[in-house]
């Protein structure tokens, strides 16, 4: 999930923002999926086992949020999920037309990773980049790989969508993200010393705060569906 050329490590692009000039902010309504419905197709690289894992991730949305992933028929706007591209990444929000979600067979086929990237696709950023994150974590830039400090840029355009900071969020990276010495030198250290940070791929479902934020952001869109 730590791609050197991508915004914050796994964001390929952001709806309505010029590539290379991304800003971390929850999207405006024009970049949300209409009716809370996200059409999808599986690329030819997706195996039946990979499909089952990704569908488990989608089911977490279906069980806890008003978002619905539906197999694409003729919809113009949709996501294509592949496992033969390099890395784990997604675009944020509805870009328009076909947009890819990459779950590389080498290291990305986990339920937690699928949920994380799909949550990007519906319009969310990283928890540890929230504007209020300094009240909860310390970023040790001295331990961050050269050239990767921007992965920890705070969300200067942050919008409140009903939930406080959650260390356990599916959108929170682990303690050694972009570390010069993984497993030894921490880059994200919680101010609460009892907290242990885990990577998205180590998680199996969204937190209640994640689902609440999705439902709050998509309340108007999902209401249109009924």
Full pLDDT tens readout for the chain, 226 residues: 555 555 555 555 555 455 554 444 456 778 899 999 999 999 999 999 999 999 999 999 999 999 999 999 999 999 999 999 988 889 888 989 999 999 999 999 999 999 999 999 998 888 998 888 999 999 999 999 998 888 898 876 556 677 889 999 999 999 999 999 999 999 999 999 999 999 999 999 999 999 999 999 899 999 987 6
The confidence score (pLDDT) of residue 24 equals 44
pTM of the model: 0.88
CATH code of domain 8-126+203-224: 3.40.390.10
DSSP string, the chain: ---TTSBTTTEEEETTS-TT-----PPPGGGSPGGGEEEEEE-TT--HHHHHHHHHHHHHHHHHSS-EEEE-SS-SSEEEEESSSSSEEEEES--SSEEEEEE-TTT--SHHHHHHHHHHHHT---GGGSTTGGGTEEE-GGGBPTT-GGGG---TT----S----TT-TT---TTTTBSSTTTS-SEEESSTT-----GGG--S--HHHHHHHHHHTHHHHHHH-
Specify whether 22 is catalytic.
no
Q: Which of 117, 127, 186, 221 is catalytic?
A: 117
The confidence score (pLDDT) of residue 160 equals 64
The confidence score (pLDDT) of residue 11 equals 59
- The full set of domain ranges for the chain reads 8-126+203-224
Residues marked as binding for Zn(2+)? 116, 120, 126
């Amino acid at each position: 999930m730590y791609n050197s050329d991508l915004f914050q490590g796994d964001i390929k692009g952001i709806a309505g923002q010029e590539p290379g000039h991304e800003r971390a902010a929850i999207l405006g309504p024009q970049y949300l999926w209409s009716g809370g419905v996200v059409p999808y197709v599986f690329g030819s690289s997706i195996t039946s086992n990979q499909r089952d894992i990704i569908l488990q991730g989608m089911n977490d949305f279906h069980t806890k949020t008003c978002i619905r992933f539906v197999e694409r028929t003729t919809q113009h706007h949709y996501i294509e999920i592949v496992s033969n591209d390099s890395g784990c990444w997604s675009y944020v929000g509805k870009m328009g037309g076909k947009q890819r979600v990459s779950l590389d067979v080498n290291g990305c086929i986990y339920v937690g990773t699928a949920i994380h990237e799909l949550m990007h696709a519906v319009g969310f950023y990283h928890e540890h980049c929230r504007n209020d994150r300094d009240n909860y974590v310390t970023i040790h830039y001295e331990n961050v790989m050269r050239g990767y400090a921007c992965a920890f840029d705070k969300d200067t355009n942050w919008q409140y969508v009903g939930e406080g900071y959650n260390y356990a969020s599916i959108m929170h990276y682990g303690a050694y993200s972009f570390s010069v010495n993984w497993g030894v030198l921490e880059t994200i250290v919680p101010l609460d010393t009892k907290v242990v940070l885990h990577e998205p791929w180590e998680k199996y479902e969204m937190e209640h705060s994640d689902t609440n934020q999705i439902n709050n952001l998509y309340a108007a869109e999902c209401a249109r569906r009924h």
